[in-house]
């Protein structure tokens, strides 16, 4: 995670005496309290330091030991500080290289906030800094101030998106205004929509954009119920919340501020987005939070985008987790194939990886757009030779143009960045020719390649011709072979003069080298080495065994003896060395001015470079999906999609893409059909560990992959376009947020019921586990019945409540499936026997007629004593009620059941009225049966039963009940 920097260099040490340590401890004590999840660092120039709880955290996270801690301050200072350690204030130093790695991890994976303090002044004659000020801040969605530190030498593979939300409650509803910023893509987005009470559209938008941080209005009085619900939702999405004052959400100057940030194509126009009042209020707060106006390099760089929620499939946070769409922060560096993104990500560029992540979180709902993307994927699936050429010769050599463009604008770029762009532009003719040679069978696909890839690439290449010419005229191309990024000397006469002077000195250095070799009778190639030492500059080195040759010779000056040998010089070599580095400093100073001019010229090409970046990303992400589709253990197929609201779900030999690639797993494929009016609602039963969860999730994954435009893991696939995928999977507690398992279930299920339409795909797994069996069953029945009868969406409902299988009696479009298991009897001595279970992972029609909980416990290696108690208890319960009533009653319709229940109630009430004591009835006392003996009540019961016999015989449900007594 943090590399090997900790062992590659000596650990920095504090330079403070005890008095200075005490002063610093007092300063730390007086600092304002930190927010939760924040770390503070102190920039000490050559290294950083952390103190108190931050030091302990870094010691454990980075160094994996607390032995690196140093305790600052005296015992008195420690006692007065916030540190509870009597030895002093826990402190740790961390190198600049390790700090970069730690900050990347803290901000992206751990979602922490960061504050960095720098010294404002230093007391004369003292090494300690007497005053520290907050110089930089960063958070998961706002890394602007630390971008140079974090990503100057490393590409960014995920989008960093910040969002602000403003809610305007109205009578009978609410309007939500949203603004978001993607610094990497130079995009400012706004949208405004009417929202339901469960904030389903807001949740979908957060998922679609991959938001890292959300700015919300502070609720000082804790009285805003709408804001409380919104905060709960944002937290459920795993997004960091930053609260701002209400005054920040004022759109007074936002139009003027926005025009300073927008590029020439958007700035100064009367844009329709300005009419979105709530979105503009949210944008005002977001711009203030990110301090974008305070960074002049961001001015004139952004485009404004009106985000349309309806152009993408909606996904909620539960679906994102249930489908394993994106890698968990805890999965970093592990098995990449545990998430769909990790599986499909065979991209060669950073921009391709970012785009693939956006595609997966924004599945398309327009059939034409999906089919276009499918066609492009199909081209590269069928033409594996072209695919490999694109990946190995071109894509893997493409830099992140967005990152380099940003460096150009901030004037942080150097000649190496200019050259990287030049080398990439040199690849464009070959890339274009490779794409031109593709010959798909469908002529329309050829036209599509021309329109989507070739035409833009040719245009960008033509516009970059002057850039190529500028680089070749200013940069020494021959030196690139040696990884030297220098300007051509003839580019400037003064530069050329100093270059020639340096070459002249090099010749004199070589001459001195040969002269000394002759004098000492040493081979200049093997024995006498001329080196550029980091301390002594140009000097000679010989072995210790040959050091005697120079000891009594006044012509030679002994400088040092090291493990590598003896370092020495001559008066002439020292003079030449000093002259060389003096001229080189002049050369570099002059070159820096020239380089700045070259970079400024290169910065004028950032617009075309960013457009080129988008094309390269599209090719890379498309080729990546094709690569995975073609190289799967069983090749993926192109799915057939139908317009939203039409068609059925038909899958042949479907597989879970992530599970089938895991080691030591042989995946069992299954067919699946869901037809409108016949099998819209699937009730899936079967043993635990039998594959129910995997089966229903793989249908969701395949549906999502199809709408992304990717091929899918099946032999045949036909699906309609879904407007959203909603999921309620797993029974994990959220106790840290004060939400129980059952409450989490109910919140997620409520979202499904309120958000789903007839065009949705609903996935529910084991609903009702978080409460009592009876309550759980009742809720599961009510919810499933509501989905099946009212919503009429395609739904997969895996359950351990076998009673739900009777739902098909009253709903003809409900279908029962079960996960099959092979059960064999095992006979033991003494006449004893039990059953052996083999899970087959095959899904078949019908109901699972057995429970396998105890057998699964045996497979899980439960202690034998526990299994024996479970078996004995199960036998007792079976004796108490063998379940025959359920078996008899499951065949009756809903109306027969309701009529029969009413008849039985009527019969029992009639019997109750007859056995009541007249005296007790008149007094209104509670137990009205005390007036009769037991025998008398039985005789009265038989008499009433005889009177009701004909009516009992006329109701099949009552007859069924009577037969079980």
* Residue 41 belongs to domain with CATH number: 3.40.1170.10
**Phi and psi angles of residue 135, each rounded to the nearest 5 degrees, phi first:** -105, -30
Cβ-contact 247, 288 below 8 angstroms: no
Which phi-psi region, left, alpha or beta, contains residue 653 (left: φ > 0; alpha: ψ -120 to 50)? left
Report the pLDDT value the prediction gives residue 93, as an integer from 0 to 100.
93
Cα 663 to Cα 343, 654, 656, 838: the distances in Å are: 14, 19, 14, 21
According to the model, what pLDDT value does residue 836 have?
60
Alpha-carbon distance of 745 to 822, in angstroms, equals 32
Same domain, yes or no, for 647 and 784?
A: yes
Q: Are 569 and 540 in contact (CB under 8 A)?
A: yes
Write out pLDDT tens, residues 893-910.
Answer: 667 777 877 787 787 778
436: Cβ contacts below 8 Å, ≥ 6 apart: 454
Examine the domain organization and report whether 680 and 764 are in the same domain: yes
Asked whether residue 880 is domain-assigned, the answer is no
φ/ψ (deg, to 5) at 640: -100, 125
Q: Which of 258, 212, 45 is nearest to 132 (CA)?
A: 45
522-570: per-residue pLDDT in tens?
Answer: 999 889 999 998 889 999 999 988 888 888 888 899 998 888 899 999 9
User: Which among 503, 495, 504, 482 is positioned nearest to 591, based on CA atoms?
Assistant: 495
Residue 405 has pLDDT above 70, yes or no: yes
- Residues ≥6 apart with Cβ < 8 Å to 550: 520, 542, 556, 558, 566, 568
Backbone conformation region of residue 359, classed left if phi is above 0, alpha if psi is from -120 to 50, else beta: alpha
Is 155 part of any domain?
no
Examine residue 619 and state whether it is found in any structural domain, yes or no. yes
Same-domain check for residues 707 and 652 = yes
Q: Which residue has the higher pLDDT, 58 or 335?
A: 58
Q: Hey, is 841 helix, strand or coil?
A: strand
What's the total number of domains in the chain?
Answer: 6
Residue 225 has pLDDT above 90, yes or no: no
Can you read off the two tokens belonging to residue 102? Answer: 């730690």
Query: Does any domain span residue 708?
Result: yes
**Same domain as 653, residue 621:** no
Boundary of a domain, candidates 804, 834, 851: 851
Q: Which residues of 105-126 are buried (b: 16+ CB within 10 A; e: fewer)?
A: bbbbbebbbbbbbebeeeeeee
Q: What percent of the chain is modeled with pLDDT above 90?
A: 48
- 242 and 221 together in one domain: yes
* Domain membership flag for residue 219: yes
Q: Which residue range(s) make up the domain with 646? A: 640-851
Q: What pLDDT is attached to residue 782?
A: 86
Domain identity same for 110 and 174 = no
**869 in a structural domain:** no
pLDDT of residue 743: 66
Please, are residues 411 and 362 in contact by the beta-carbon 8 Å criterion?
A: no
Query: 187-196, 427-436, 719-728, 835-844: which range is least confident on average?
Result: 835-844
Closest Cα to residue 53, out of 64, 67, 37, 30? Answer: 37
pLDDT at 779: 80
HSE of 199, CA atoms in CB hemisphere, 13 A = 28
Give the separation between CA 491 and CA 484, rounded to whole angstroms. 16
Segment 835-881, tens digit of pLDDT: 565 666 788 898 875 656 666 666 566 677 666 666 666 555 544 44
- What would the two tokens of residue 737 be? 């947020």
834 vs 133 pLDDT, higher one: 133
Q: How far apart are CA 909 and CA 907, in angstroms?
A: 6
* Exposure b/e, 629-640, CB count within 10 A at least 16 = b: bbebeeebbbbe
Give the pLDDT score at 919. Answer: 44
- Tens-place pLDDT, residues 348-393: 999 999 999 999 999 999 999 999 999 999 999 999 999 999 999 9
State residue 814's pLDDT score: 95
Tens of pLDDT along 713-735? Answer: 999 999 999 999 998 886 543 43
**Average pLDDT across the chain, whole number:** 84
Ranking 261-275, 296-310, 623-637 by mean pLDDT, the lowest is 261-275
Q: Which residues does residue 673 pair with via DSSP β-bridges, in sequence order? A: 650
**Tokens read off for 775:** 């309550």
Q: Name the band, by pLDDT with cuts 50, 70 and 90, for residue 450.
A: very high
Q: Are residues 272 and 221 in the same domain?
A: yes
Whether 659 and 786 map to the same domain: the answer is yes
* pLDDT category of residue 815 using cuts at 50, 70 and 90: very high
3-class secondary structure, 86: coil
Q: What percent of the chain has pLDDT over 70?
A: 83
pLDDT band at 4 (very low <50, low <70, confident <90, very high): very low
Q: What is the CATH number of the domain that holds 624?
A: 1.10.1420.10
Check whether residue 752 and residue 688 sit in a common domain: yes
- The reported pLDDT for the residue numbered 21 is 85
Flag whether 370 is in a domain. yes
Q: Specify whether the CB–CB gap between 174 and 224 falls below 8 A.
A: no
Whose structure tokens read 């958000």?
755
Q: What is the CATH number of the domain that holds 829?
A: 3.40.50.300
Residues 296 and 412 both lie in one domain: no
Q: Is the residue at 864 inside a domain?
A: no
- Confidence at 40, pLDDT banded by 50, 70, 90: very high
**pLDDT score of 738 more than 50:** no
Tens of pLDDT, residue by residue over 141-180, are 998 888 877 776 677 778 889 999 999 987 767 899 999 9
Residues 665 and 619 in one domain: no
Per-residue confidence (pLDDT) for residue 867, from 0 to 100: 65
292 in the same domain as 173: yes
């Amino acid at each position: 995670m943090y590399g090997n920097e900790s062992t590659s260099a000596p650990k920095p040490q504090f330079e403070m005496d005890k008095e200075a340590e005490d002063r610093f401890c007092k300063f730390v004590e007086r600092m304002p309290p930190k927010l939760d999840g924040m770390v503070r660092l102190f920039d000490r120039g050559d290294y950083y330091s952390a103190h108190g709880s931050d030091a302990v955290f870094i010691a454990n996270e980075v160094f994996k030991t607390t032995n690196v801690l140093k305790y600052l301050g005296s015992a008195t200072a420690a006692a007065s500080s916030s540190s509870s350690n009597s030895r002093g204030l826990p402190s740790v130093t961390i190198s600049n290289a390790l700090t970069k790695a730690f900050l990347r991890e803290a901000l992206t994976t751990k979602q922490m906030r960061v504050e960095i303090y720098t010294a404002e002044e230093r007391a004369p004659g003292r090494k300690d800094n007497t005053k520290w000020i907050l110089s930089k801040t960063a958070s998961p969605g706002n890394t602007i101030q630390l971008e140079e530190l974090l990503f100057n030498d490393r590409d960014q593979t995920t989008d960093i998106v910040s969002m602000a939300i403003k809610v305007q409650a109205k009578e009978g509803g609410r309007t939500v205004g949203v603004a978001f910023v993607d610094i990497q893509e130079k995009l400012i987005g706004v949208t405004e929509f009417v929202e339901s009470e469960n904030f389903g559209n807001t949740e979908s938008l957060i998922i679609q954009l991959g938001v890292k941080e959300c700015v919300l209005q502070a609720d000082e009085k804790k009285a805003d119920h709408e804001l409380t619900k919104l905060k709960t939702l944002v937290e459920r999405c795993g997004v960091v919340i930053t609260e701002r004052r209400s005054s920040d959400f004022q759109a007074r100057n936002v139009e003027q501020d926005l025009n300073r940030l927008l590029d020439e194509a958007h700035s100064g126009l009367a844009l329709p987005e300005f009419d979105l009042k709530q979105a503009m209020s949210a944008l005002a707060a977001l711009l203030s939070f990110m301090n974008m106006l305070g960074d002049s390099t961001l001015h004139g760089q952004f485009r404004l985008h009106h985000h349309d929620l309806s152009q993408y499939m909606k996904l909620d946070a539960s679906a994102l987790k249930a489908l394993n769409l994106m890698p968990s922060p805890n999965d970093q560096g592990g098995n990449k194939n545990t998430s769909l993104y990790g599986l499909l990500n065979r991209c060669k560029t950073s921009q391709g990886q970012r785009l693939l992540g956006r595609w997966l979180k924004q599945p398309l709902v327009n059939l034409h757009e999906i089919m276009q993307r499918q066609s492009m994927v199909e081209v590269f699936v069928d033409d594996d030779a072209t695919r490999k050429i694109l990946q190995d010769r071109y894509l893997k050599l493409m830099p992140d143009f967005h990152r380099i463009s940003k460096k150009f604008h901030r004037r942080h770029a150097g000649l190496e960045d200019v050259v990287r762009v030049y080398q990439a532009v040199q690849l464009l003719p070959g890339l274009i020719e490779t794409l031109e040679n593709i010959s798909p069978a469908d002529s329309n696909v050829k036209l599509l390649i021309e329109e989507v890839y070739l035409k833009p690439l040719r245009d960008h290449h033509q516009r970059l011709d002057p850039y190529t010419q500028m680089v070749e005229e200013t940069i020494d191309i021959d030196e690139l072979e040696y990884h030297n990024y220098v300007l051509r000397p003839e580019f400037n006469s003064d530069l050329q003069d100093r270059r020639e002077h340096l070459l002249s000195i090099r010749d004199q250095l070589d001459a001195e080298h040969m002269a000394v070799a002759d004098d000492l009778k040493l081979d200049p190639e093997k024995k006498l080495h001329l080196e550029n030492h980091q301390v002594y500059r140009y000097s000679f080195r010989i072995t210790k065994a040959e050091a005697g040759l120079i000891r009594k010779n006044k012509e030679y000056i002994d400088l040092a003896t090291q493990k590598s040998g003896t370092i020495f010089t001559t008066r002439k070599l020292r003079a030449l060395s000093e002259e060389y580095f003096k001229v080189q400093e002049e050369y570099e100073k002059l070159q820096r001015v020239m380089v700045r001019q070259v970079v400024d010229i290169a910065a004028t090409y950032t617009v075309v470079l960013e457009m080129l970046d988008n094309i390269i990303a599209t090719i890379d992400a498309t080729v990546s999906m094709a690569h995975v589709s073609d190289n799967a253990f069983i090749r993926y197929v192109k799915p057939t999609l139908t317009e939203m609201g039409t068609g059925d779900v038909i899958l042949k030999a479907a597989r879970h893409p992530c599970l089938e690639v895991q080691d030591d797993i042989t995946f069992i494929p299954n067919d699946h059909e869901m037809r409108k009016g016949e099998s819209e609602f699937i009730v899936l039963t079967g043993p635990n560990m039998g594959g129910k969860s995997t089966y229903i999730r793989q249908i969701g994954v395949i549906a999502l992959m199809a709408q992304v435009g990717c091929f899918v893991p099946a032999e045949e696939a036909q699906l309609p376009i879904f407007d959203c995928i909603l999921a309620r999977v797993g029974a994990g507690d959220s106790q840290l947020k004060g939400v129980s398992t059952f409450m989490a279930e109910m919140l997620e299920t409520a979202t499904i019921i309120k958000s789903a339409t007839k065009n949705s795909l609903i996935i529910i797994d084991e609903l009702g586990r978080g409460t009592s069996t009876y309550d759980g069953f009742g809720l599961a029945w009510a919810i499933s019945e509501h989905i099946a009868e009212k919503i009429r969406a395609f739904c997969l409902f895996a359950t351990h409540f076998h009673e739900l299988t009777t739902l098909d009696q009253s709903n003809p479009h409900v279908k029962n499936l079960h996960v099959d298991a092979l059960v064999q009897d095992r006979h033991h001595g003494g006449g004893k026997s039990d059953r052996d279970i083999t899970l087959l992972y095959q899904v078949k029609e019908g109901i699972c007629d057995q429970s396998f909980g105890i057998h699964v416990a045996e497979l899980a290696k439960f202690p034998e004593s526990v299994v024996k108690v479970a078996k004995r208890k199960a036998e007792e319960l079976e004796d108490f009620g063998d379940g025959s009533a359920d078996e008899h009653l499951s065949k009756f319709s809903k109306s027969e059941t309701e009529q029969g229940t009413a008849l039985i109630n009527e019969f029992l009430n009639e019997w109750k009225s007859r056995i009541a004591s007249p005296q007790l009835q008149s007094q209104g006392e509670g137990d009205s049966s005390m007036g009769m003996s037991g025998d008398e009540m039985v005789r009265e019961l038989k008499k009433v039963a005889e009177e009701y016999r004909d009516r009992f015989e006329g109701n099949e449900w009552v007859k069924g009940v009577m037969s079980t007594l």
